[in-house]
Amino acid sequence: LHCPNALSLVAFHFVSSIDTAEAYGKGKAETCLGDALKRLSYDRSDYVLTTKVFFGEHGPDSVLNQRGLSRKHVVEGLRKSLKRLQVDYVDVVFAHRSDPDVSIEEVVRAFNWVIEQGWAFYWGTSEWTAAEITEAWDVADRLNLIGPCAEQPQYNLLHRSRVEDEYAPLYKRCNLGLTIWSPLAFGMLTGKYSGAKIPEDSRLIKEKRLADSLTVEKANAVDNLKPIARRLGTSLAQLALAWCLKNKQVSVVLMGASKLEQVRALRGEGRGQA
């Protein structure tokens, strides 16, 4: 996927937010995005840019001090991300996972420090439990610091309990916003895996972890949604995206693509973020 072409196809038509992470492509995703944004010369105030730190730029190969949520890695990791992205700041920096080896107070202080430096406007969490988010807010309130403004969880028609049940008390108490990922359940909600069969050129054929998540029960659930989409005169993907956007707690729906054809299709699937 050619990054500048993809961005030019969707920019400001229905995409206002761009999300990445230090670990995506072992740092190459941020580098590619930074090069594309510079080449396209968009005004920085025209879009929201977010990234995530935790796994390190080398993913599983990152050494101990190059991953996690220690103050050292939050500061050094975000500094490297900004350099790859060729920007002075991101709008939101997310803690890509929680870190049991680092106190919540250190995490809260670290993210507040990068905000104070002007490297980010806000910070958030990704795939944290409700208890962890609550503790972060308790610490932030006690220290008169900024708590996490948003959580980035998986959410779709096949994966609902955390967003709808576990996080329910947080929306009012913490004014928590959601930036949700995998609205199409790794492509399952496009309908291309009918009968739990995996096409040769699909993402699931390349990633065993994802292929294992395609159960017969999920495939049957998707098949049961197809008549509803037909009755509404829409595609299954459009139905799945609209369903996510209908949830008033969802602020941003993250969508991805590996081919320009998919980007073109996404332009017609609804208004979201990429």
Active-site positions read 24
232 token code pair: 């509404």
H/E stretch holding 251: strand 250-253
- In the sheet that holds 90-95, the strands lie side by side as 17-19, 48-53, 90-95, 120-125, 150-151, 177-180, 250-253
C-alpha–C-alpha distance, residues 197 and 97, integer Å? 31
Amino acid at 241: L
* Dist. CA 109–CA 145, nearest whole Å: 8
How many residues are there in the chain?
Answer: 274
Determine how many CB atoms are found less than 10 A away from the CB of residue 89: 17
Considering only CA atoms, which of 207, 196, 157, 201 is closest in space to residue 180? Answer: 157
Are 83 and 57 within 8 A, CB to CB?
A: no
Q: How far is CA 269 from CA 60, 168, 188, in A?
A: 34, 28, 15
Q: What is the dihedral of CA 85, 63, 274, 204, to 10 degrees?
A: 140
Give the Cα separation of 115 and 137 in Å (integer). 16
